[in-house]
Amino acid sequence: MGLKEQLQKDKANMSAVPQPAYNDNEDSEIIISKFYGYERSPIRRAVMLDLRLKGGKYVSLPYSYLTKIKFDPSESIELYISGNHVKITGRNMHDIYEQLIRHRVTFIIANPTDLDTTEESETFVKDIEVKEDDS
């Protein structure tokens, strides 16, 4: 078989439209609580982390510049990302931490008021502080 015949045979076996690794029609974000959400598919990663602060301000930071995560289960999660120090205070944030280290959290929302009406066993995000490094 010549080169021309081999190429025609290979072309007949190839699909013109590549098949996606996941279905774009599916909702790619799963919301676990009113305080955070993350990517549904374990093979997908979030590009940015969207932080929704008290007072209505939003800050989005790139996962590609995340250098360190500290987690104190009794108090807070601290992120060092793109010249910023982010402190997330609350309780029952173990799942948020687990998804952050996998770059899957898409957003975290601070409780808009000081009133905590969530069940004691549920995740609660009291506040999010973002401080820029002065260097």
Which residues have CB under 8 Å from 131's CB, separation 6+?
84, 85, 86, 87
The residue type found at 108 is: I
Does residue 109 contact residue 55 with C-beta atoms inside 8 Å?
no
pLDDT at 135: 53
- Residues 71-102 pLDDT 10s: 999 999 999 998 999 999 999 999 999 999 99
Residues of the chain with pLDDT under 50: 17-25
The model's pTM: 0.76
